[in-house]
Every structure is written in C-alpha cells, then in structure tokens.
Amino acid sequence: APVLAEGRKDLDIYFPHSKWFDLRDGKEVPVRGKFMNLPAPVEGVVPHFLRGGKMILKQDVTGVKSTEDLNNVFNITVGLPDFATKGETKKAEAVGNILDVPNYSEEVIYKQCTEKNCLMNVTIACAYGNNTFTTTITSKSDSSERTENPIEIKEIHLLGAPGDFFSSKPTGKVELKGDEKSVVEYKFDASTQVLKILISNNLTLSNDSQFILSINV
C-alpha cells in the first residue's frame, strides 16, 4: 500500500473481508472488509500486508548485488487464517509457492521455467489440542529431482499463532519427527502473536517431502 500522493504521511487502506497481517511487525490488522487509516511516513517502511491462508518465502540479502549472489536458504512467513474447530482439535492451513531452481541465472530460469513447471508448491498446516501444537510442512514440485542447491528452510514465522496455547510456555523445544539430531526451538511473542520456529539443520524441501514439527506445553 504505497503512498501515491505528494506530502501524504498516512493512508486510508481498504482490507477485503479476510484475515490480514502487517508484515512490518507481524500483527493482525484489526479490521475486515473495511478501511483503516495507517501511518506511512516517507522515512519508514512501505506498508505491506499478508493475507491469512497465504505465505511468502524471504531471504537474507546482506551483501547481495545480483541474482548470482543469492543462495537457496529461505525463511517462511505464514499468515494463519482463523482456526477451525474439529472435535477437540483446532486447525488452520496456508499455501504458497517458490521457484524450484538450482540458481537464478537467466539460462537456468529460461530453461526450467519455459520447458517445464519450475514452481514448488508448499503447504503448512497447523493444529493444536490436548497440549500439543503441530506444524506439518508439505512440498511438491515437478523439478525437484535434482540434488544441486535444493530449497532449504531455516526459520518458520507463524503470524496469528494461538496466544491461549502459548501463554503458559512462550519458549521451548520442538520435536522434529524422524530426526532427533536437529535442534529446533520456538519463541512466541505475545504482543504480536508471532511464533518463530528456529531450525539448526535446515529442512530440505523436495518433491513430495513432509516434515512434522510438534510442540508440547
């Protein structure tokens, strides 16, 4: 939501009826299907938002001057939709995609993305109940049979995580199913309702891969 009028330092932004998050701090936008006035000073960050049920993948671009300097390590930022109650469990799911290529050279992008589908589809499903919060990451890709520079995930940021679940234990360990060697930790910020999952050994996404992360409180 960029400022388009000269001298304007705030914006009246319309949010379609859905759950939205301010990516500057991760907080949920408190309106749905309405306008909201928000500050947008010229010296600040342009207001940008993520819809519930969607995700984006971000990289550390420190020192990056061209696409050749980019690696394949990402952090996932997920906007969780409203949790739906099914029995004793509450569930929410988000989807997104990413270019599944070994590098970002023009030659690779042209060849992989014109000759076949080069997108990796990623789904993150969260569920909680009975003192357990699980995050299931599933990826599918038509081009991920390669082994050179696969997509790796270092951190997962869940926006709109349930404060009622994490209020008693805002930090702790995460169990990664089938992998007892990796050190996975979580940090929950009650002021923003953002849950960060930090992974010591990056998760490698490939075609038809799945990871299940569990938090017990």
- List, for residues 142-174, the tens digit of each pLDDT value: 765 666 788 999 999 999 999 999 999 999 999
Q: Which bin fits 59, alpha (ψ -120 to 50), beta or left (φ > 0)?
A: beta
Cβ(94)–Cβ(136) under 8 Å?
no
pLDDT of residue 110: 83
Model confidence over 68-102: pLDDT tens digits? 888 899 999 999 999 999 888 999 999 999 988 88
Count Cβ atoms below 10 Å from residue 24 Cβ, excluding itself: 13
Could you tell me the pTM of the whole model?
0.93
pLDDT of the residue at 33: 96
Percent of the chain with pLDDT over 90: 68
pLDDT of residue 145: 62
Residue 199 dihedral angles phi and psi, to the nearest 5°: -115, 125
Residue type for position 174: V
What local confidence, expressed as pLDDT, does residue 144 receive? 59
